[in-house]
């Protein structure tokens, strides 16, 4: 009962679910595995039409944070709300509004590209006819229409990633999560992904949370969250974070922030 | 989420499992060759060693290959169940488990759908085996081919849910070899699949009780009776009960708040 009340109260605080609610609000999130603190009191939000880059070294807690937001397992303290829906109490409403590209490749290599996309649409309960129209549109936008009938195994790493982005958008989420999506990709594929996601945020108002350990991927018109050893060291528009860290570039700002922490 | 969403999701999961199975022809052949080797070679060699007297549901003396046919059907269901659990561990390592679990449908439903898909594939295999077995002297009554269906489905669900539960506990694919040694082989040999339990009792009383307690024995007996149009209540109750227990454990294993995934975390 308490949970329900708390949930209702927390929803009121950010408006009714959907409506005016923020795409993603994380508040006071902590998580431990045994003795190890993976996340400590993490709070941030992701806004409509904005790209938020979650920057951190390996082991900073990015994957734990993504696992909690996608509800691979539950958080124990704090809250995660997707368009006002607390993921722990209303997982169905929250997950329906969420698109995810995981760090590991997750295409089924035994199936064709189209079959992979249909499978995803079915998992979201979409009828086959509607799924067909949507997946053709998404696959066209990533320039792979002619590969639709081919086995996923025949695609290159970069092409597989593009299919995964198309797949993540089939159920028309308003919030897109990407967990180090460019790892292992060549320069051209990486640039394509960055441009495509920038376009999605700008033209379709998609809210994006993009985890990375590559400082080059954090461009000036994005927001950035610097995560280190499970804590947020800085958050805000990139130019502001650079200024506050008394730096001239994001790389320098990052080094300064991490350095202060280690001293 | 409305019922139609649930239906579409189930259909999608079954369709994927079927496609995967068709695309992997080697897997289909391997799954079929295994019980056929037992039937065509082992049973032929042993027909003169083991005499099978008249025991229910049989009404006459029966050749050995007729006796072990239900056990081999059970073997198909067990291997298929474990294979799908192997694919779950594999899915988890490769990440495609993650895509399943971010579906907005409830997790217990996703796991049950996965289970149903695996059972459909294994029941089809069981019928292919019965068709080949027909030419090897396995002639159950015609209606037996229909009455065995519910027994195959229930036993298949039980064995697949055991596999599903194991997949939630096994951290890595390498541990699957252990499952073969410590689960599949003991379950198969300590059962009534290859020899009637009264022969076991004569040889070793303690082993007899182990075989009696093994739910795989009940799965085999349920299939054996159903193949001859008869219903074995005891076997049905044990298989049904074991299904409930394994399925509950599997759902708890994948529960985001309680399961092993939650305690151990993802791969950081």
Q: pLDDT tens for residues A148-174?
A: 999 999 999 999 999 999 999 999 999
A17 pLDDT band, cuts 50/70/90, is low
Q: Please, is A113 exposed, middle or buried when counting C-beta atoms within 10 Å of its C-beta (0-12, 13-18, 19+)? A: buried
Could you tell me if B18 lies within 8 Å of chain A, comparing CB atoms? Answer: no
**Alpha-carbon distance B253 to nearest alpha carbon in chain A (angstroms):** 11
Give residues with Cβ within 8 angstroms of B245, minimum separation 6.
none
**Alpha-carbon distance A199 to nearest alpha carbon in chain B (angstroms):** 24
Residue A10 in this model has a pLDDT that exceeds 60: no
CB distance A235 to A46 below 8 Å:
no
Omega before B57 cis (within 30°)?
yes
Mutate to test the interface with A, among B6, B11, B12 (most CBs of A within 10 A): B12
- Which chain A residue lies closest to B101 (C-alpha atoms)? A72
Could you tell me if B264 lies within 8 Å of chain A, comparing CB atoms? Answer: yes
B8 CB neighbours in chain A (<8 A) are 122, 125-128
State the average pLDDT over residues B185-194: 91
A122 CB neighbours in chain B (<8 A) are 8-9, 11-13, 15
State the average pLDDT over residues B15-37: 82
Question: ipTM higher than 0.90?
Answer: no
3-state secondary structure of B61: coil
State the average pLDDT over residues B141-155: 95
B23 pLDDT band, cuts 50/70/90, is confident
Nearest to A92 among B1, B16, B264 (CB): B1
Q: pLDDT tens for residues A204-263?
A: 999 999 999 999 999 999 999 999 999 999 999 999 999 999 999 999 999 999 887 655
C-alpha A135 chain-centroid distance: 20
Q: pLDDT tens for residues A60-90?
A: 899 899 989 998 888 888 999 999 999 989 9
State the average pLDDT over residues A196-211: 95
Residue whose structure tokens are 């596999």: B163
A14 pLDDT band, cuts 50/70/90, is very low
What pLDDT, on a 0 to 100 scale, did the predictor assign at position B266?
A: 45
B259 CB neighbours in chain A (<8 A) are 73
Please name which of A145, A175, A188 lies closest in space to residue A82, comparing C-alpha atoms: A175
pLDDT > 90 fraction of chain B, expressed in percent and rounded: 43
CB distance B167 to B88 below 8 Å:
yes
User: Of the ranges A13-22, B30-39, B182-191, which one carries the lowest mean pLDDT score?
Assistant: A13-22
Cα dihedral across residues B35, B40, B41, B42: positive or negative: positive
Contact pairs from chain A to chain B, CB under 8 Å: 120
CB distance A247 to A253 below 8 Å:
yes
Strand A51-55, strand A77-82: pairing: unpaired
- Which chain B residue lies closest to A66 (C-alpha atoms)? B266
B261 pLDDT band, cuts 50/70/90, is low
Residue B46 in this model has a pLDDT that exceeds 80: no
Mutate to test the interface with B, among A102, A125, A177, A213 (most CBs of B within 10 A): A125
Cβ distance of B20 and A110 shorter than 8 Å: yes
Structural domains in chain A, CATH included, are: 2-97+173-262 (3.40.50.300), 108-172 (no CATH)
Helix/strand/coil (H/E/C) assignment for every residue in A68-135? HHCCCCCCCEEEEEECCEECCCCHHHHHHCEEEECCCCCCCCCCEHHHHHHHHHHHCCCCHHHHHHHH
């Amino acid at each position: 009962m308490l949970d329900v009340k708390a949930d209702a109260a927390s929803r009121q605080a950010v408006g009714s679910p959907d409506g005016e609610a923020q795409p993603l609000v994380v508040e006071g999130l902590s998580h431990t595995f045994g003795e190890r603190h993976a996340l400590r009191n993490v709070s941030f939000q992701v806004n409509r039409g904005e790209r938020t880059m979650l920057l951190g070294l390996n082991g900073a807690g990015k994957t734990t944070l993504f696992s909690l937001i996608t509800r691979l397992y539950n958080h124990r303290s704090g809250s995660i709300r997707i368009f006002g829906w607390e993921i722990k109490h209303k997982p169905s409403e929250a997950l329906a509004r969420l698109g995810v590209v995981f760090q590991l490749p997750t295409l089924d290599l035994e199936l064709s590209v189209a079959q992979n996309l249909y499978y995803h649409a079915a998992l979201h309960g979409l009828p086959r006819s509607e799924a067909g129209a949507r997946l053709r549109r998404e696959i066209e936008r990533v320039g792979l229409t002619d590969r639709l009938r081919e086995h996923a195994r025949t695609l290159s790493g970069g092409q597989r990633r593009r299919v995964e982005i198309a797949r993540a958008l089939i159920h028309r989420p308003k919030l897109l999560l990407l967990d180090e999506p460019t790892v292992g990709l060549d320069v051209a594929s990486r640039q394509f992904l960055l441009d495509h996601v920038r376009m999605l945020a700008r033209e379709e108002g998609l809210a994006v949370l993009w985890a990375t350990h590559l400082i080059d991927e954090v461009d000036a018109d994005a927001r950035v969250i610097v995560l280190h050893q499970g804590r947020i060291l800085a958050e805000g528009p990139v130019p502001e974070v650079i200024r506050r860290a008394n730096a001239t570039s994001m790389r320098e700002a990052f080094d300064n922030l991490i350095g202060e922490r280690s001293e | 989420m409305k019922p139609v969403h649930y239906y579409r999701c189930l259909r999608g999961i079954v369709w994927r499992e079927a496609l995967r199975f068709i695309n992997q022809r080697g897997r289909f052949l391997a799954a079929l060759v295994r019980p056929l080797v037992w039937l065509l070679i082992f049973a032929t060699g042993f027909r003169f060693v083991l005499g099978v007297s008249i025991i229910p549901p049989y009404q006459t003396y029966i050749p050995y290959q007729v006796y072990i046919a239900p056990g081999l059907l059970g073997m198909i269901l067990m291997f298929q169940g474990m294979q799908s659990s192997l694919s779950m561990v594999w899915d988890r390592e490769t990440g495609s488990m993650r895509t399943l679990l971010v579906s907005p449908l409830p997790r217990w439903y996703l796991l049950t759908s996965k289970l149903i898909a695996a059972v459909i594939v294994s029941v089809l295999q069981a019928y292919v085996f019965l068709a080949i077995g027909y030419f090897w002297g396995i002639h159950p009554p015609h209606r037996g081919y229909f009455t065995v269906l519910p027994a195959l489905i229930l036993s298949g669900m039980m064995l697949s849910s055991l596999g599903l539960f194991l997949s939630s506990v096994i951290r890595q694919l390498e541990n699957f070899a252990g499952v073969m040694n410590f689960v599949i082989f003991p379950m198969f040999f300590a059962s009534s699949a290859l020899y009637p339990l009264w022969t076991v009792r004569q040889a070793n009383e303690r082993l007899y009780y182990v075989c009696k307690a093994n739910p795989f024995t009940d799965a085999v007996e349920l299939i054996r009776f159903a193949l001859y149009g008869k219903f074995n209540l005891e076997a049905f109750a044990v298989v049904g009960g074991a299904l409930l227990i394994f399925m509950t454990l599997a759902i708890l294993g994948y529960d985001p708040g309680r399961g092993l995934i939650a305690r151990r975390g993802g791969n950081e």
